[in-house]
Amino acid sequence: MIKVGIIGSTGYAGGELVRILMNHKDVEIKWYGSRSYVDQKYSDVYRNFFEIVEEKCFDDNIEALVEQVDVVFTATPQGYLASILKEEYLQKAKFVDLSADYRIKDVATYEKWYGIEHKSPQFIEEAVYGLCEINREDVKGARLVANPGCYTTCSILTCYPLVKEGLIDVDTLIIDAKSGTSGAGRSAKLPNLYCEVNENIKAYGVASHRHTPEIEEQLGYAGNCKVMLNFTPHLIPMNRGILATAYAKLKAKADGSLPTEAEIRAAYEKYYKNEKFVRVLDKGVCPETKWVEGSNYVDVNFVVDERTGRVIMMGAIDNLVKGAAGQAVQNMNLMFGLAEDEGLNLVPMFP
């Protein structure tokens, strides 16, 4: 059995980690870390775990806790793991970090967009960006995985095949995304109160959202070029889900013609045909968040707009599963040589 510790277990992503790992046949959760609920029963924090989880929450004394486990999940705010991680901890346990601390390879870019000093830049180069469908082989040998952000997971997987195959002009790429309120975390914040969110939709982080450089960096690797794009997130009144809609001009071929619908679909099939968790929908079917809710699936599709010479790419995920906890478990499975889908065979919930 793989012994697991979760720091930040009482946030939404942490709670989802517990839900998924409770049904993982190869895992034993050894401790539930939470600064806010030390010595309180976990099931008193999340009543859905009544008579399922009997353990109490511990503090985040990493020196003591790392001795007891094989892998540590850190579902914590930016800066936490970077401030405490040491080589001796990595020699004792593997780490899957759900924050942005090790996602971006350039320290200056991280510090600019997140507004904090990076406390352990010596581990950035080693950290593997844990988008399994793209970096699977690197994840298998990793000690430290940077679990991708929710918006970034959806945006990158939606656009990746067309960027990788050079079918679009990345200089024209625009991504518009909508997220449910759980993406903002469990802490009380005025803009996320029911009366502020209900019957409302609003853009935020316009031209400044912190996931922008992460999307640019990863799509830049895919296209072997510098990517600079517009990314605009929106908050909508639902609990879970992200829908990303991306727009770009199609790149003309040598004969001056534009890629066809069949050629674009072939690109998606090339990269995702054998990916269990990425579902390329049938022609004319647009992704919906309801069709992936509670699951680790990503639904993607596209429409070619012949009138404008553009392609509209669409993707939907559950931000707490494939966008956070599910992807983290997927990474853990790869790191320990398990079946990649172990614990993740979650049928989407409906309605």
Report the DSSP beta bridge partners of residue 174. 230, 247
From the candidates 57, 132, 150, 154, give the one annotated as an active-site residue: 150
Determine the Cα–Cα distance for residues 6 and 328; give it in Å rounded to an integer: 11
Determine the Cα–Cα distance for residues 231 and 211; give it in Å rounded to an integer: 8
> Which ranges of 208-260 would DSSP assign to H, the alpha helix?
212-223
Angle ∠(191,196,201) on CA atoms, nearest 5: 95
> Which ranges of the chain would DSSP assign to H, the alpha helix?
12-21, 42-45, 62-65, 80-84, 87-90, 107-114, 132-140, 150-164, 194-197, 212-223, 261-272, 326-335
Angle ∠(268,167,302) on CA atoms, nearest 5: 45
Amino acid at 100: A
Is residue 57 annotated as part of the catalytic site, yes or no? no
Determine the Cα–Cα distance for residues 141 and 332; give it in Å rounded to an integer: 11
Question: By the 8 A CB rule, do 245 and 176 touch?
Answer: yes
Q: Which residue numbers are catalytic?
A: 150
